Amino acid sequence: MPVAIWQHITLAYSGFFISACLGIFGAIIAVRWSSLRVLLQSGSSLLQSIPAFTIVALVVPFLGIGFVPAVVVVIVTTILPVLRNTTIGLSSTDPVLIDASTGMGMTFCQMMRFVRFPLAIHPIFSGLRLSSIVANSVAVVTVFIGSGGLGAVVLEGLVRYHTPGILAGVLPAIFIALSADILLSRIERYLKPRYQ
Amino acid sequence: MTEMTVAGLSAVWTQYQLTTLTLIHLNLFGTAMIIILAIGLPLGIIAAMSSRGYLIVSVLNIIEMIPDIALLLLLIPVTGIGAAPTITAAVLYSLLPVVRNTMTGLTSFRPELIEIGESLGMTRGEILRIIRFPLSLPLVAGGIRIAVVYSMGIVTLGGIIGARGLGAALQAGITRNNMTLILVTGLWIGLLAVFMDSVAGLCERFLSKKYGDRP
């Protein structure tokens, strides 16, 4: 059981971590080159419109089964909220502040670091928290391509039609998701600008 | 397997009645979206206004925890098969992005603006309408657009529990191992989702021109 929980956490949150990095990076690109914004957003919508279960089936011919394809599934299904909310957050900074920081001679990176990011903490974390929940539920479904973890416990329960067995997989998963949400809200509170 | 030519593709299109299925698909999707907006936006406003708002989000978090396919199957005993469980699942699954983004949008901006509003003698409703709503518009619209894409996915998945729609054609393609059918419906569903997303984007642009805080 501890092994299953550990596998589940590794799977869900390594996927989540990668998609968070990719999503935030993509959002920075979308803000820097606005022509790419539409492309990135419709690309991620196109990926997201495929149900998680179908993506699980689709990656098998390309990547086979096991841990890595499962992580890819988690990334594909969680990137949209991060990308979209970060783009909105970073691009809805008060234009007066952008003008002021340009006037102070800030470079694009400095503006990101000192102006846009601090002011966009709430929207970014709203997206991240949504993604962390979705990552957790997708990590259960990926059991069908051999990712192991809590999904295996759930599947075993389902096959035997054994309700306590299903709950033994589902309850830890819910607990992990809620703890991750609380952890992210702590980080959000720590990162938000002091004056707010 | 049919040939991948224009004639072959149009044969697949007519053989599986994809036009009818598309209309049914959009009907399911539209119904789900109307219910999501009618429930999600008020819930988001309540969550933002009350101090116990996080409870609403926690409950929705737990629903979101259930994988989409399991949610569909769990609803069958309650609502039967077909359109009802599909719409219910789409609504339950897409509420979280709408509620969370509405809540974040309505609460995350400089608190001075609220104080300014209060000192001008605005009521809570006026502050909501004149200050909070225009400032939160991009984020609320972003949540709705995530919900658009999510419910498109769930409506497709509804094909496996007898909600007719493009999911049914996709399912037929998978069981008959008909690659052409899978590709045609898969791509068509993806394009529809991107199209709906852009329609939502146009609505957002219209609203932000009319009510937003900057042109």
CB contact A101 to B (< 8 Å): no
User: Contact B64/A134, CB-based, under 8 Å?
Assistant: yes
pLDDT category, B1, cuts 50, 70, 90? very low
The distance of A60 to chain B (nearest Cα, Å) reads 14
Mean pLDDT of chain A: 87
Q: Is A80 in CB contact (< 8 Å) with chain B?
A: yes
* CATH number, residue A16: 1.10.3720.10
Q: Residue range B142-160: average pLDDT?
A: 89
Residue B108 and residue A48: Cβ atoms within 8 Å?
A: no
Q: Are B160 and B68 in contact (CB under 8 A)?
A: no
Read off the DSSP letter of residue B109.
Answer: S
Could you please report the per-residue DSSP string of chain A? -HHHHHHHHHHHHHHHHHHHHHHHHHHHHHHHSTHHHHHHHHHHHHHHTS-HHHHHHHHHHHH-SSHHHHHHHHHHHHHHHHHHHHHHHHHTS-HHHHHHHHHTT--HHHHIIIIIHHHTHHHHHHHHHHHHHHHHHHHHHGGGGT--THHHHHHHHHHHT-HHHHHHHHHHHHHHHHHHHHHHHHHHHHHS-TT-
**Domain coverage including residue A11:** 2-191
Cα within 13 Å of Cα(B190), Cβ side:
16
Closest residue in B to A44 (Cα–Cα): B194
The H helix count followed by the E strand count for chain B is: 10, 0
For a pLDDT cut of 70, what percent of chain A falls above it? 98
Nearest to A50 by CA among B84, B166, B88: B166
Of chain B, the percentage scoring pLDDT greater than 70 comes to 96
CB atoms within 10 A of CB A162: 12
Whether residue A174 has pLDDT greater than 80: yes
Mean pLDDT, chain B, rounded, equals 85
Residue of B61, B142, B194 lying closest to A177 (CB–CB)? B61
Q: Is residue A196 a part of any domain in this protein?
A: no
Task: Name A189's Cβ contacts closer than 8 Å, sequence gap at least 6.
Answer: none
Whether B61 and chain A come into contact, CB under 8 Å, resolves to: yes
- Interface membership of A178 toward B (CB under 8 Å): yes
Whether the CA torsion B96, B102, B106, B108 is positive or negative: it is: positive
Percent of chain B predicted with pLDDT > 90? 25
A112-126, B37-51, B69-83, B87-101: the lowest-pLDDT one: B69-83
Non-local CB neighbours of B1 within 8 Å, separated by 6+ positions: B178, B179, B180
Is B6-209 a CATH 1.10.3720.10 domain? yes
Distance to chain B for A96, nearest Cα, Å: 11
Position A57 pLDDT exceeds 50: yes
> CB under 8 Å to A175, separation ≥6 — which residues?
none
Asked if the model's pLDDT at residue B38 lies above 70, the reply is yes
Over range B173-184, report the average pLDDT: 81
Nearest residue in chain B measured CA to CA from A92: B138
Chain A contact for B107, CB < 8 A?
A: yes
- In chain B, which among 149-168 make CB contacts under 8 A with chain A? 149-150, 152-154, 156-157
Residue B215 predicted with pLDDT over 50: no
The distance of B122 to chain A (nearest Cα, Å) reads: 22
Query: Residue A20: what pLDDT?
Result: 95
Classify burial at B145, counting beta carbons within 10 Å of its beta carbon; exposed 0-12, middle 13-18, buried 19 or more.
Answer: buried
HEC string for B26-39: HHHHHHHHHHHHHH
Tokens found for residue A19: 């998609």
Q: What single-letter DSSP state applies at residue B91?
A: H
Residue A17 has pLDDT above 90, yes or no: yes
Q: What is the pLDDT of residues A71-112, one digit of tens each?
A: 999 998 899 999 989 998 998 888 888 889 989 999 988 988
Nearest CA in chain A to B66: A137
Segment B104-133, tens digit of pLDDT: 888 877 778 888 888 999 888 888 888 888
Whether B32 contacts chain A with CB within 8 A? no
pLDDT confidence bin for B213, thresholds 50/70/90: low
Read off the pLDDT of residues A126-160 as tens digits, 9 standing for 90 and up: 999 999 998 988 888 888 887 888 888 888 887 88
Query: Residue A70 pLDDT > 50, yes or no?
Result: yes
The number of folded domains in chain A is 1
Residues in B closer than 8 angstroms to A42, CB to CB, are 194, 197-198
Q: Residue A35: exposed, middle, or buried by beta-carbon count in 10 A (0-12, 13-18, 19+)?
A: exposed
Examine residue A184 and state whether it is found in any structural domain, yes or no.
Answer: yes
CA distance, residue B214 to nearest chain A CA (Å)? 9
Q: CB burial class (10 A; 0-12, 13-18, 19+) of residue A96?
A: exposed
- What is the mean pLDDT of the segment spanning A157-169? 82
Chains A and B form CB pairs within 8 A to the count of 118
The amino acid at residue B150 is Y
Residue B3's pLDDT band (boundaries 50, 70, 90)? low
pLDDT at A195: 59
- Cβ neighbors of B101 (< 8 A, separation 6 or more) are A85, A123, A126, B44, B139, B140, B142, B143, B144, B146
Instruction: Give the other-Cβ count within 10 Å of B199's Cβ.
Output: 12
